[in-house]
């Protein structure tokens, strides 16, 4: 299939292309577009066949449910059978923005969109292009991250083109995304709201609005991954993975640098191509051909912004091993560590 690729600027929305994207979506087609978190691969969330095409294009297991994207809070009543007061509180505080809520689904939403579940994930993105495209479609838009299943999520149109050119009807290039990792997911169907996927809207921020907020134990105890079944089906799959083997090194800064340099020497001696994922503060201390800084250790937003792009850059460098510094798990860092641990298949060396 020929994929239509067009560049659009958030400041200068070209309505001809927005209308085109809306028409493709309304007709059951696939359009990849930027959101503030990562690029999404959109299809009509209320159309069985359209949702099925998403799974096919991504190579995604069909029991992994999709997030339904809306452009107005009123749409909550359409996609959910019941909207609790907490949902409106969260919408007030964080929408449009990087927060996804799990609610009980309405009959309108097909089971192909929800992966067979009676619940539905809903999000109102803040990216103006995303909002305009949803409105132009006249429906709600199911959109997983626009990557081949198992690859790091796309944070630029180039990543989407690399993965999906020829497999989707249209790709909207709106430049680099601002946040760089996927939305926080919170389940509002139980007695206590529960975070199923950490993101840049942190537990602390959610607690300010909701009071008590729990975290899915599968996120908090990654070392037991595989034993505890995560409540977001997608969190159980190996994910975000680069082609090389990623290993995290955890401990005191000086000891981490020493161990990573030692591992680089060992693997290079065995003729492997090796990479180091470092930070601004530590980059100069590594002796390695392929070293990339993700940003400052003092600024989790910059690290989140560069995380997936860095993983993809190591793919282009064709490295066999990537050694990466680890971070603590407080506030925004929890989301970063969640993605890194998954990308590493939970391989961690403690020093």
d(CA 4, CA 169): 6
Residue number with the shortest CB distance to Mg ion? 145
Does 184 engage in binding with Mg ion (CB under 5 A)? Answer: no
- For 113, other C-beta atoms within 10 Å of its C-beta total 29
Query: How far apart, in Å, are the Cα atoms of 121 and each of 14, 33, 172, 324?
Result: 29, 19, 23, 32
- Interacting span for Mg ion (CB under 5 A) from 45-53, 144-152, 271-279, 295-303: 144-152
> In the complex with Mg ion, which residue's Cβ is closer, 119 or 145?
145
> In the complex with ligand TXA, which residue's Cβ is closer, 24 or 260?
24
> Total binding residues for ligand TXA by CB under 6 A?
31
Does 145 engage in binding with Mg ion (CB under 5 A)? Answer: yes
Does 21 engage in binding with ligand TXA (CB under 6 A)? Answer: no
Q: Are 21 and 135 in contact (CB under 8 A)?
A: no
Residue 96, preceding peptide bond in cis (omega within 30° of 0): yes
Sequence-separated (6 or more) residues with CB below 8 Å from residue 133 = 18, 21, 22, 25, 31, 33, 42, 141, 172
d(CA 248, CA 323): 6
Which of Mg ion, ligand TXA, none is residue 275 near (CB under 5 to 8 Å by kind)?
none
Does 156 engage in binding with ligand TXA (CB under 6 A)? Answer: no
> In the complex with Mg ion, which residue's Cβ is closer, 113 or 145?
145
Contact letters for ligand TXA, residues 66-85 (x by CB under 6 A): xx------------------
Does 119 engage in binding with Mg ion (CB under 5 A)? Answer: no
Does 182 engage in binding with ligand TXA (CB under 6 A)? Answer: yes
d(CA 123, CA 191): 21
* Strand, coil or helix: 43: strand
What residues line the site for ligand TXA (CB under 6 A)? 35, 37-38, 40, 64-67, 98, 100, 102, 114, 117, 119-121, 123, 125, 143-145, 182-183, 185, 196-197, 231-235
| Chain residues in the site for Mg ion (CB under 5 A) | 145
């Amino acid at each position: 299939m020929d994929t239509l690729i067009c560049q659009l600027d958030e400041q200068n929305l070209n309505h001809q292309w927005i209308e085109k994207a809306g028409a493709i979506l309304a007709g059951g087609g696939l359009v990849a577009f930027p959101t503030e978190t990562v690029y999404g691969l959109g299809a009509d969330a209320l159309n069985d066949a359209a949702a099925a095409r998403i799974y096919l294009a991504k190579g995604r297991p069909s029991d992994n449910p999709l997030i339904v994207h809306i452009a107005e809070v009123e749409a909550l009543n359409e996609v959910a059978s019941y909207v609790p007061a907490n949902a409106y509180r969260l919408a007030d505080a964080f929408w449009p923005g990087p927060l996804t809520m799990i609610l009980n689904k309405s009959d309108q939403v097909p089971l192909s969109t929800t992966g067979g579940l009676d619940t539905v994930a809903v999000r109102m993105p803040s990216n103006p292009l995303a909002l305009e495209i949803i409105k132009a479609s006249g429906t709600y838009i199911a959109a997983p991250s626009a990557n081949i299943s198992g690859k790091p999520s796309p944070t630029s149109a180039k990543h989407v083109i690399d993965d999906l050119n020829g497999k989707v009807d249209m790709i909207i290039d709106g430049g680099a995304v601002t946040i760089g990792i996927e939305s926080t997911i919170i389940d509002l169907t139980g007695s206590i709201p529960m975070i199923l996927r950490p993101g840049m809207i942190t537990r602390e921020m959610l607690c300010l609005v909701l009071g008590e907020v729990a975290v899915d134990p599968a996120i908090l105890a990654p070392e037991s991954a595989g034993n505890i079944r995560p409540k977001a089906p997608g969190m159980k799959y190996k994910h975000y993975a680069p082609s090389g083997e990623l290993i995290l090194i955890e401990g005191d800064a000086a000891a981490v640098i020493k161990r990573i340099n030692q591992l680089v020497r060992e693997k290079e001696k065995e003729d492997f191509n090796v990479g180091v994922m470092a930070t601004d503060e530590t980059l100069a201390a590594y002796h390695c051909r392929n070293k990339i800084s993700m940003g400052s250790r003092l600024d989790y937003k910059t690290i989140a912004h560069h995380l997936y792009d860095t993983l993809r850059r190591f793919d282009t460098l064709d490295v066999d091993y990537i050694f990466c510094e680890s971070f603590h798990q407080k506030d925004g860092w929890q989301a970063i560590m969640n993605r890194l641990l998954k990308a590493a298949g939970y391989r961690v060396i403690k020093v």
